[in-house]
Amino acid sequence: MNDRIVVIAGGLSPERDVSLRSGRRVAEDLRDAGFQAEVRDIDATLLADLQNDPPACAFPIVHGVAGEDGSLQEVLQAINVPFVGSDATSCRRSFDKAIAGSLVSAAGISIPNAIALPQAMFRDLGAGGLLDAITEKVGLPLIIKPNRGGSALGVSVVRDPAELPAAMVGAFAYGDVVLIQRYIEGTEIAVGVYDIGDGPVALPATEIVPDSGLYDYTARYTAGTTEFFTPARLEDRLLEAAAETAVTAHRVLGLRDWSRSDLVVDADGKVWFLEVNVSPGMTETSLYPQEVAASDSSIGDLLTALVKRAVARG
Ligand SMILES: Nc1ncnc2c1ncn2[C@@H]1O[C@H](COP(=O)(O)OP(=O)(O)O)[C@@H](O)[C@H]1O
Ligand SMILES: [Mg+2]
């Protein structure tokens, strides 16, 4: 078999650098596992190269809009290049936090109270009255985030209504729709899921303890600013509930191969779903590789299995 894998990383989102780091690492792991892997950016030569010299499969690891909203996947599907990860439709419904939230909520998963607000609505109805009504309905504290975003860019916590307008402006900088969501106090965890043919399986949960209290961009990509515990320091029944939540979200959203759900477990032991990532970060400080390292599998074995599945799908 042709064992050439094209890892697609980069793109033009604010998460470009993170994606390039993820891509380099996946390519390295694939080479260690015996594949011929190269990293390619999304640029004007990519399409022709994929068509003229088709690889065994592509491995998209582009974070943010172009990589996770399904558009890259749609293009790969159109030119018949098999790829690792979820198809375009599932990416699209997962990347929109409000849509993903409604779908998993219908399956019985708890999601924080939230309202998604397009910038135009904000302008047409008047910011002041609207923000008051929303604050009343959703309840303080709030977390403000772009409805379609990543890496905590444009995310802020609002404990005092006076901070809300600035938080909205910060989030609108990253997208046209902002999600105003109830902030859930508790233990933040991430749960990776993989499916190598026997259905989705949860990896050990990673507990995230940022020095600053908020798992923002700096806390994510500056080594040493966040403490991680894998498995999370939670009772077994809570770890099981979290694993079940991540697997259910993966199933309900129709995801394929791999995903990572971001969750919060509150003091009452309730598991709240924040979002799911279809191309989880794979950098040195990322969560998914830490979880694989703590599992019975190895990153090499897992990537090999995912690639083989993508190739077999053809
Ligand atoms: N409802 C919430 N309650 C508590 N913390 C939250 C909530 N929503 C988001 N956060 C915090 O903000 C971070 C980013 O939010 P998330 O929904 O995961 O978006 P993304 O990772 O795509 O930027 C999370 O890792 C978490 O620390
Ligand atoms: Mg997240």
- Tell me: the pLDDT tens digits for 240-250? 999 999 999 99
Degrees (nearest 5) of the Cα angle 300, 302, 305?
A: 110
Q: What is the CATH number of domain 106-111+185-305?
A: 3.30.470.20
* Pairing between β-strand 4-8 and β-strand 57-60 as defined by DSSP bridges: parallel
Q: Establish whether residue 275 lines the binding site of ligand 1, counting it when its CB lies within 6 angstroms of any ligand atom.
A: yes
Q: Establish whether residue 174 lines the binding site of ligand 1, counting it when its CB lies within 6 angstroms of any ligand atom.
A: no
Please, which residues have CB less than 5 A from ligand 2, an ion?
262
pLDDT bin (cut points 50, 70, 90) of residue 188 is very high
Ligand 1 atom with the shortest distance to the CA of 214: 27
- Single out the residue of 282, 226, 231, 237 nearest to residue 259, CA to CA: 282
Q: Which of 15, 91, 140, 145 to mutate to test the pocket of ligand 1 (most atoms within 8 A of CB)?
A: 145
Give the whole-angstrom CA distance, residue 234 versus residue 111: 20
- Single out the residue of 30, 40, 52, 29 nearest to residue 7, CA to CA: 40
Give the domain ranges of the chain.
4-84, 106-111+185-305, 114-182
Quick one: pLDDT at residue 74? 96
pLDDT bin (cut points 50, 70, 90) of residue 256 is very high
Q: Establish whether residue 151 lines the binding site of ligand 1, counting it when its CB lies within 6 angstroms of any ligand atom.
A: yes
Q: Establish whether residue 82 lines the binding site of ligand 1, counting it when its CB lies within 6 angstroms of any ligand atom.
A: no
What ligand is nearest to the CA atom of residue 155? 1
Residue 130 pLDDT greater than 90, yes or no: no
Q: Establish whether residue 143 lines the binding site of ligand 1, counting it when its CB lies within 6 angstroms of any ligand atom.
A: yes
Which residues share a beta bridge with 93? none
Q: Which of 138, 155, 226, 227 to mutate to test the pocket of ligand 1 (most atoms within 8 A of CB)?
A: 155
Mean pLDDT across the chain:
94
Q: Establish whether residue 65 lines the binding site of ligand 1, counting it when its CB lies within 6 angstroms of any ligand atom.
A: no
Half-sphere exposure of 198 (CA within 13 A, CB side): 3
Distance 191 CA to ligand 1 centre (A): 14
Quick one: pLDDT at residue 279? 95
Give the whole-angstrom CA distance, residue 269 versus residue 271: 6
| pTM, rounded to two decimals | 0.96
Amino acid (1-letter code) at residue 181: Q
User: Which option is the CATH number for 114-182: 3.40.50.2000, 3.30.559.10, 2.40.110.20, 3.30.1490.20?
Assistant: 3.30.1490.20
- 10 Å CB burial of residue 218 (0-12, 13-18, 19+) is middle
Q: What is the CATH number of domain 4-84?
A: 3.40.50.20
- Please report the sign of the dihedral spanned by the C-alpha atoms of residue 234, residue 144, residue 93, residue 60: negative
What ligand is nearest to the CA atom of residue 157? 1
Top mean-pLDDT range of 2-6, 106-110, 134-138:
106-110
pLDDT cut 90: percent of the chain above it: 83
- Tell me: the pLDDT tens digits for 15-72? 899 999 999 999 999 999 999 999 999 999 999 999 999 999 999 999 988 788 999 9
Q: Establish whether residue 111 lines the binding site of ligand 1, counting it when its CB lies within 6 angstroms of any ligand atom.
A: no
pLDDT bin (cut points 50, 70, 90) of residue 128 is confident
DSSP string across 140-206: SSEEEEESS--TTTT-EEESSGGGHHHHHHHHHTT-SEEEEEEPPPSEEEEEEEE-SSSS-EEPPPE
Higher pLDDT pick, 135 / 109: 109
Distance 119 CA to ligand 2 centre (A): 22
- Tell me: the pLDDT tens digits for 139-180? 999 999 999 988 889 999 999 989 999 999 999 999 999 999
Quick one: pLDDT at residue 1? 60
Give the whole-angstrom CA distance, residue 231 versus residue 228: 9
Q: What is the DSSP letter of 285?
A: T
